[in-house]
Structure 1
Amino acid sequence: MQRTRGVLLQYFHWYSEGGGVLWNKLAKQAETLKKAGFTAIWLPPAYKGAGGGHDTGYGVYDLYDLGEFDQKGSTATKYGTKTEYLKAIDAIHSQGLYVYADIVLNHRMGADEKEQVLATPYSRENRSEPTGPQEQVTVYTRFTFPGRGATYSDFQWMWHHFDAVDHAEEYPDDKKSIYVLEGKQFDDYVSSEFGNYDYLMGCDLDFGAEEVREELTRWGKWYLDTTGIDGFRIDAVKHIPSWFFPGWLSSIRSHAKRELFAVAEFWDPDINQLKTYIEQSERALSLFDVPLHFKFYQAGMERKNFPLDSIFSGTLVEQDPEHAVTFVANHDSQALQALESVVESWFKPLAYSLILLRKEGYPCVFIADYEGATYEDYGSDGEKYLIEMPSFRELIDLMLKLRSSRLEGEKHDYFDHPNTIGWSFSGEKALAVVLCNGEDGSKRMETGLPATEFVDCTGNSTERIKTDEEGFGDFPCKGESISLWVRSDDPL
């Protein structure tokens, strides 16, 4: 799939408005998003979650219910009905944009019936050794989907399709144990946190079971045939064995008879963990550049004490740009979420320039940064907070225009100062980018255009800079800011 200079938009955040409005909103905005410069849209999980019409989709209940059946208290999902979902996809495709579907393969939640099975308790903090003997417990592991019946699939999930759960009816107050079911063990080739991080939540799928793999393949083919999507964003793969994806994606791509993009979330700032997973999965999928996100998070907090010239050190886009999806923020990192790692607002213009105005990687814009967002929720301290996220739409739109027309020439990097860095693309459509995380600074950079006047199209600097006879110019930047310099006679 052609991703040169493409830009992905994550079209939701954790607190996106419910009530079934998102799919209809997207259908109306598709043309506007195309004109802005986005090339692909990442949509939230479209199937029924355990929380019905209020579920974000990550507590997955029924992968075949795209807002069509009366299950878990509603027919529509949080985002709308199946009909509205398919119309939104058609609207996106009509603009020539790609659609990536968010899918959760790791777990199931909200079982319809309980079963009795032998299980062995393990501690959440140490999955290497059991904390007690095997005993019979009552667990919620049977999914019969009474609202859907056998429509689309007659497969029913039962305890032997899972390897572990976190709740036994006999121990309702036990919040520290994971129960490994009879004859099962944690899957291998997952994150090594806690000794083995296979288990995350709910009923954890046993990927070692052939029936499980076959059902996921059947569903994947059905989903492609039903929706016509162009790729997947795959949730929580640090809990899914890496060996699963080459075979699964090969089957799905072969069925589609077209290239399908796949990007997965492996939430770990350790670049070596990401590189290992990419290699073990036979380079079948890309990963979000979590190490780069944490660089942005750290830089925002440390301000001028952060060495800006090392911003790409130890990141996926530095070491494997072909498999790196770069991002500033997402639904997991936003304030009041379990993985909260908020990039400070003052640094977001710098961060977005670092992913949108460079050729390396596949950048993803977060809708809450693009449109802004206001929401309330409880923090880990039990207190309620009002969160207000500003909109950076005007600046991001500017960067999208520059990305589409000004990244053509030879790139020159000037990462040679801890507080002021820059890069330029030389040629007729020259662009000079300068970033400062401390005091005002400037960067002498090559443009390939002698005796040419440049202006800062952000308006942050009002000077006019003229290059010398060799095409070099001294391009200034205000403190804790960015400046994007273009020819004064060729404005956007």
Structure 2
Amino acid sequence: MKKTQFLLLALALGFVFSCRENDGIADDTSVQKEVHNKTVHVTHHDGRPFSTGNSPYAKFVAGPGGSVLMQGFYWDVPDGGNWWNTVKGKLTDWSNAGIGAVWLPPASKAQNGAYSMGYDPTDYYDFGNYNQNGSIETRFGSRTELEALITKAHAENMQVYADIVINHNSGGQSEYNPYVGSNTWTNFSGVASGKFPRSYNDFYKNSYGNNDEGAFGGFPDLCHANPYVQDWLWGRDDSVGKYYKNIMKFDGWRFDYVKGFGPWVVNTWNSNVGGFSVGELWDSNVNTLEWWANNANSSVFDFAAYYKMDDAFDNGNLNVLNDDMMWKRNPFKAVTFVANHDTDIIYNKMLAYAYILTHEGYPTIFYRDYEEWLNKERLNNLIWIHNNKATGTTSILYTDNDEYIARRNGYNGNPGLVVYINNSSSWQERWIQTNWASQQIKDFTGSSSWYPTTQSDKWVKIQCAPKSYSVWSLNQ
């Protein structure tokens, strides 16, 4: 997690630093062998389409392929308190495009007040309505503006996910800490909301031990073993989780830096609070991702797929897409992505978006890719394909260094699709086996003008433009 940090020993004025989490990239365990000219089934679940569920509001209805998540911010969005209004103004267009949920940055007041991206939380109940840490509003705006954004999203039948930072806190006052024998910045008894006051015994080290799974950046490390902390995070009726869900009307959670505490924390939050849940476990080892998701009872960002896509599309090695990824282990707990506010290493992004928006898992679109950097029309086309055609289990039909072809096998009357990704510098053609006998198909991206008819044995020749992708399904 890239976060604005402060020298905690400098009276909360400190110098501002910026850092990136660098957890290392573990080697994935590959369970797939290189495949040439034959079909390999890579998932073994019941083929239900992925869906996050729809809130009972108004307009947007996810197609049979499920929904798409928008990360509604990037690192260092403009300060000045207008970001909630900016996002609110885009919700109708996002809903019309087929986006079913938006993930917002941490919404509560943090140590750097109007300049903080929110990852150094001070008062979980100050959404820009208390004068503390040098401002009333947060970087993103006022509580009233945030509530208007959430109301507007629900009117568009979109869900809203809160970024939850519960590994560490910042902005407390100095107090003597008998467990370290000196002063620590752990006195949060004076938070303006009056809710969840904290002291040194709510942070490690304390009477519950010296540490948990991990601290971050020198910030006071919140002690989830303390029943008082548990009660304020998810237990009591006005706990952080229940307040966000029942009062602020958030529909789900993106848990920040879950390496810093045990998966039982997210599991217990989910059991007590409910809502959609995804954890930021920055690790490319699919075994670690699956272990965490199962123990947390939560979805997890598919970092295994992220690094494989970088290798495939940027390094000319599409064969690595045969390797194991979280979406292949459990697509219902895999949130796939091409870039986010912390990491943006994939260069051939449209090929990567073609991959995640035609494959299983819950695909995420990064704000800057959609609004600033890539072709919005092409992304909207892929979103439509995802929502309307991307159903059923996945079969890889062909791979080599430059080409990748996979089939979604369809579900409950939906025909599925075939996606062809071509990273070479020339047009390519392949004979592949579909699920459709003696039926006309077409490329739903519009790249190819072919309208071939499948043979009685379901085989057909398809094509793909250089450095591009095509997506084939029944012409209906």
Question: TM-score w.r.t. structure 2 length?
Answer: 0.79
C-alpha contact 1:42 1:101 (8 A) present in aligned 2: yes
Residues 435-460 of structure 1: per-residue CA shift (max 9 Å, x gap):
12234333322345556555544344
Q: 2:251 maps to what in 1? A: 230
Q: 1:144 maps to what in 2? A: 189
Match status 1:162 vs 2:203? yes
Q: 2:431 maps to what in 1? A: 444
C-alpha contact 2:168 2:215 (8 A) present in aligned 1: no
Residues 270-298 of structure 1: per-residue CA shift (max 9 Å, x gap):
112222223333xx211111111111222
2:176 match: secondary structure: strand
Aligned ranges 1:339-350 → 2 under 5 Å: 342-344=345-347, 347-350=348-351
- The alpha carbon displacement at 1:220 in A equals 1.5
2:148 match: secondary structure: helix
Match status 1:116 vs 2:176? yes
For 1:433, give the aligned amino acid.
V
Identity value in percent? 29
Match status 1:262 vs 2:277? yes
Q: Which runs of 5+ in 2 are unaligned?
A: 1-51, 55-64
Q: 1:423 maps to what in 2? A: 406
For 2:346, give the aligned amino acid.
V
Between 77-86 and 223-232, the greater mean CA deviation after superposition: 223-232
User: Aligned-pair RMSD on alpha carbons?
Assistant: 2.5
Residues 100-141 of structure 1: per-residue CA shift (max 9 Å, x gap):
111101110111x21122556xxxxxxxxxxxxxxx322211
C-alpha contact 2:168 2:219 (8 A) present in aligned 1: yes
Q: 1:70 maps to what in 2? A: 131
Aligned ranges 1:364-443 → 2 under 5 Å: 364-372=364-372, 390-408=373-391, 412-425=395-408, 431-440=417-426, 441-443=428-430
- The alpha carbon displacement at 1:412 in A equals 4.7
C-alpha contact 1:92 1:98 (8 A) present in aligned 2: yes
Q: How many residues align?
A: 407
Q: 1:382 maps to what in 2? A: none
C-alpha contact 2:437 2:454 (8 A) present in aligned 1: yes
Q: 1:317 maps to what in 2? A: 327
- The alpha carbon displacement at 1:56 in A equals 0.7
Q: 1:354 maps to what in 2? A: 355
1:157–1:471 distance in 2 versus 1, CA, 3 Å: same
Aligned ranges 1:77-226 → 2 under 5 Å: 77-111=138-172, 113-118=173-178, 136-145=181-190, 148=192, 150=194, 153=195, 155-163=196-204, 180=205, 184-187=209-212, 190=213, 197-217=214-234, 218-226=239-247
- The alpha carbon displacement at 1:366 in A equals 1.0
1:322–1:406 distance in 2 versus 1, CA, 3 Å: closer
1:353–1:236 distance in 2 versus 1, CA, 3 Å: same
- The alpha carbon displacement at 1:181 in A equals 5.6
- The alpha carbon displacement at 1:86 in A equals 0.5
1:184–1:34 distance in 2 versus 1, CA, 3 Å: same
Question: TM-score w.r.t. structure 1 length?
Answer: 0.76
Match status 1:28 vs 2:89? yes
1:16, 1:62 → 2: CA distance? 21
For 2:155, give the aligned amino acid.
S
1:356, 1:70 → 2: CA distance? 43
2:253, 2:416 → 1: CA distance? 35
- The alpha carbon displacement at 1:63 in A equals 0.4
Aligned ranges 1:322-333 → 2 under 5 Å: 322-333=332-343
C-alpha contact 1:47 1:57 (8 A) present in aligned 2: yes
- The alpha carbon displacement at 1:464 in A equals 5.1
C-alpha contact 1:420 1:442 (8 A) present in aligned 2: no
1:105–1:183 distance in 2 versus 1, CA, 3 Å: closer
- Higher RCO, 1 or 2 (CA under 8 Å, sep at least 6)? 2
C-alpha contact 2:103 2:162 (8 A) present in aligned 1: yes
C-alpha contact 2:169 2:219 (8 A) present in aligned 1: yes
Q: 2:286 maps to what in 1? A: 271
Q: 2:459 maps to what in 1? A: 472
Between 439-448 and 73-82, the greater mean CA deviation after superposition: 439-448
For 1:350, give the aligned amino acid.
L
1:73 match: secondary structure: coil
C-alpha contact 2:281 2:289 (8 A) present in aligned 1: yes
1:452–1:355 distance in 2 versus 1, CA, 3 Å: same
- The alpha carbon displacement at 1:411 in A equals 5.8
2:231, 2:414 → 1: CA distance? 54
1:200–1:275 distance in 2 versus 1, CA, 3 Å: farther
1:182–1:425 distance in 2 versus 1, CA, 3 Å: closer
- The alpha carbon displacement at 1:330 in A equals 0.8
